Amino acid sequence: MKLIVCAALLSLSAAPALAQQAPAPAPAPAPASGDAAAPAPAGALTLDTPIETLVANPKAKAALDQVLQTDITANPFYDQIKTLSFNQVQPLSNGQLSDDLLKKIGEALAAIK
């Protein structure tokens, strides 16, 4: 019984320490100007855009369906990959997403206005 009481007291005494918030992380350093690649304009659809964001855009989904020659949402792994970008999925695809296919997807996305 004493053991249970001691354990309960220890857990209560640790609770305030565990409830404290961690300090806010330091802000990310500003990108170096000059040699860094220019970021895509806000709202631009790229190979780094999450797949679910692309699918939510009717023009992007149509472009993906045309390039991939299938509906990506019908893929059995869609729920697992939808939060990733095509650049993130490529290494996991066992060669299914070749560099050439990514290039075609990127070109199709860049053509969307």
Assess contact for 31 and 62: CB atoms under 8 A.
no
Assess contact for 71 and 65: CB atoms under 8 A.
yes
Q: What pTM was estimated for this model as a whole?
A: 0.62
pLDDT in tens, 23-72: 666 665 655 554 444 445 557 899 999 999 999 999 999 999 999 999 99
Q: For position 34, what pLDDT does the model report?
A: 47
The pLDDT of 8-29, averaged and rounded, is 51
- With 0-12 / 13-18 / 19 or more C-beta atoms within 10 angstroms meaning exposed / middle / buried, residue 45 is buried
**The CA-based dihedral angle spanning residues 59, 61, 64, 68, taken in that order and rounded to the nearest 10 degrees:** -140
Q: Which residues contact 85 (CB under 8 A, 6 or more apart)?
A: 46, 47, 48, 49, 50, 51
| 73 band by pLDDT with thresholds 50, 70 and 90 | very high
